[in-house]
Amino acid sequence: MNNAVFTFPLPANEPVKSYLKGSPERVALEAELERQRNTVLDIPLIIGGKEIRTGNIGKVVCPHDHNHVLATYHKAGEKEVKMAIDAAMEAHKIWSETPWRVRCSIILRAAELLATKYRAVLNAATMLGQSKNIYQAEIDSACEAIDFMRYNVSYASTIYTRQPKSNNTQINSIEYRPLEGFVLAVSPFNFTAIASNLNLSPVLMGNTTLWKTSTTSILSNYYLMKLYEEAGLPAGVVNFLCGPGSVIGNVALASPDFAGVHFTGSTKTFNHLWKQIGENLGSYKSYPRIVGETGGKDFIFVHPSAAAQEVAVAAFCGAFEFQGQKCSAASRMYVPKTLWPDVLQRMQAMAAEVKIGDVCDPTNFINAVIDETSFDNIVSYIEYACTAEDARIVLGGQYDKSVGYFVHPTVIETTNPKFKSMQEEIFGPVLTVYPYDDEELDATVELCDTTSPYALTGSVLGRDRLAVQVVADRLKNAAGNFYINDKPTGAVVAHQPFGGGRASGTNDKAGGEQNLLRWISPRSVKESLVPATDYLACYPYLQELK
């Protein structure tokens, strides 16, 4: 028995590599892109460590070149979901009893493999399968995924050392037990790091998962699974399932062993899952943990004292990086009328400079949106704005799905602060701007707070720091991640733990200690060193009975 008391200090964040032409990382990535482009994988389900092929096949394509098939994948049916539940429960017996430092060592090994051998693999898969450019892939599938792993290990070691008071007559402790059942991890398409963390955060704390992957990020998710296996994660701890959400969700949520859902995706899907859990409540062993990070209608609020160039850069990068498909992407902006023409001109100049196209050409800043459904949805908002009387397109507005799902960075200007695209999440490169009368600042802050049901991210820009603080205070509940003089995107693990309130989720802060606490069920244990021998001694006021 190893009797060392382990602590894992806070790590440093994984450095973002430059990918300059000729750099070793660029050479390795280009070779890997070439390999993956010229391969058609056959991706199985992985249940209890075994590859399962159902023959019910789907295709993985490049969003920027939708005729290019990267892989086929096998869809799970009811039978495979039940098999995955059995495998997760079997693995739970061993994994929940595995010393926590061993669990940590496997996850730290995974981080190391991702930082080295798997870096190019995961980046290339995220680029090709989810249409991210080099930089967007590097900060997601490499750096953020690694940071989640390493920081969570450190946070877990802090949690385990936190113990209650003891004294000469009693020893007290808290045993941080995993949940009594499996966790359903449901991942979105847009971040490989999030998909990884939705599994590894419960797994680190001793749980096992059923992983419902997103149909449009299967390639990178499959390589993550291979990475976990190589790092030594035992069979059945994570069970990799592709296929329709409704089938996987229905079976998993009907199981008495369902102990929690770790979800990131749209508010609509999360609400549906929550309702289903409520309907099945009587059949579960324990109250399930429901953790979900959901949609957003993220804002930039510009104070009249702001500098036009700073606003233009925050708006351009905040709204259009990764085609506006970050949950944190700026999608509505409130800007003083006196500042707006200057800001717009600067944004138009930036748009004229950037290129749109395939991820393999590193000079393309904008790539494709994820799939046809998403493309059509985004286009419907652009077309709506084109015909609306209270809005006009002042930047972009072009789109084309003949080769890939390309939508140009688009700005809608509206005179109506409640315009449809000021309220609804679009999840594409579309920013709606409401220029306000400078003297209407107060009323406009109120509009910003009340126009959308979401509260994920937001930012305020201005040089008058005291005035900016007033706005920040007024918008206290409008965002779970709030930025001052910055774009509302780009949260970094350990710097800005991420999550929102209102309709944006349960705000359990991925990449923070709070999230890990949701995956344990503490048992308080008291050991008495002086067991009582006289029952009346406990009740001094009853001495007269003697």
C-alpha distances out from residue 70 to 40, 76, 196, 214, 539, Å: 5, 19, 21, 16, 75
Q: How many CB atoms lie within 10 A of CB 27?
A: 13
Sign of CA dihedral 481, 485, 489, 490: negative
Does residue 545 contact residue 536 with C-beta atoms inside 8 Å?
Answer: yes
- Catalog residues that contact ligand NAD under the rule CB under 6 A: 186-191, 194, 212, 214-215, 245-246, 248-249, 264-266, 269, 272-273, 293-296, 327, 425, 427, 456, 498, 500, 504-505
Report, in Å, the least distance between residue 270 CB and ligand NAD: 7
What 3 state SS string does 251-304 have?
Answer: HHHHCCCEEEEEEECCHHHHHHHHHHHHHCHHHCCCCCEEEEECCCCEEEEECC
Report, in Å, the least distance between residue 215 CB and ligand NAD: 6
User: Helix, strand, coil shares of the chain as percentages rounded to 5?
Assistant: 40, 25, 35
Could you give the 3-state DSSP secondary structure of residue 353? Answer: helix
Q: Which is nearer to ligand NAD, 186 or 335 (CB)?
A: 186
Q: Which is nearer to ligand NAD, 203 or 426 (CB)?
A: 426
Q: Which is nearer to ligand NAD, 128 or 468 (CB)?
A: 128
- How far apart are alpha carbons 48 and 493 in whole angstroms? 31
Q: Which is nearer to ligand NAD, 336 or 511 (CB)?
A: 511
By annotation, the residues acting in catalysis are 293, 327
Report, in Å, the least distance between residue 392 CB and ligand NAD: 26
Q: What is the widest separation between alpha-carbon atoms in the chain?
A: 95
Report, in Å, the least distance between residue 321 CB and ligand NAD: 14
Q: Which is nearer to ligand NAD, 397 or 500 (CB)?
A: 500
Report, in Å, the least distance between residue 429 CB and ligand NAD: 14
Q: Which is nearer to ligand NAD, 410 or 489 (CB)?
A: 489
Q: Cα-atom radius of gyration of the chain, to the nearest Å?
A: 25
Q: Which is nearer to ligand NAD, 381 or 427 (CB)?
A: 427
Q: How many CA atoms lie within 13 A of 26 on its CB side?
A: 11
Q: Which is nearer to ligand NAD, 222 or 498 (CB)?
A: 498
- How far apart are alpha carbons 510 and 185 in whole angstroms? 13
- How far apart are alpha carbons 170 and 164 in whole angstroms? 11
Report, in Å, the least distance between residue 89 CB and ligand NAD: 19
Which pair of structure tokens corresponds to residue 359? Answer: 């991820």
- How far apart are alpha carbons 404 and 402 in whole angstroms? 6
Which phi-psi region, left, alpha or beta, contains residue 45 (left: φ > 0; alpha: ψ -120 to 50)? Answer: beta
Which pair of structure tokens corresponds to residue 451? Answer: 């126009």
Report, in Å, the least distance between residue 85 CB and ligand NAD: 14
Report, in Å, the least distance between residue 253 CB and ligand NAD: 8
Q: Which is nearer to ligand NAD, 76 or 308 (CB)?
A: 76
Report, in Å, the least distance between residue 188 CB and ligand NAD: 3
Helix ranges restricted to H, 13-133: 24-37, 78-95, 100-115, 119-130
Does residue 287 contact residue 313 with C-beta atoms inside 8 Å?
Answer: no
Does residue 428 contact residue 374 with C-beta atoms inside 8 Å?
Answer: yes
Sequence-ordered list of residues with C-beta below 8 angstroms from that of 232, at least 6 positions apart, any chain: 106, 109
Helix ranges restricted to H, 289-409: 308-320, 340-353, 372-387
Which pair of structure tokens corresponds to residue 348? Answer: 């138009």
Counted residue by residue, the chain has a size of: 546
Q: Which is nearer to ligand NAD, 64 or 262 (CB)?
A: 262
Q: Which residue has the tokens 């009594």?
A: 180
Report, in Å, the least distance between residue 193 CB and ligand NAD: 10
- How would you list the strands of the sheet with 182-186, edge to edge? 50-52, 45-47, 238-241, 209-212, 182-186, 258-264, 289-293
Does residue 253 contact residue 276 with C-beta atoms inside 8 Å?
Answer: yes
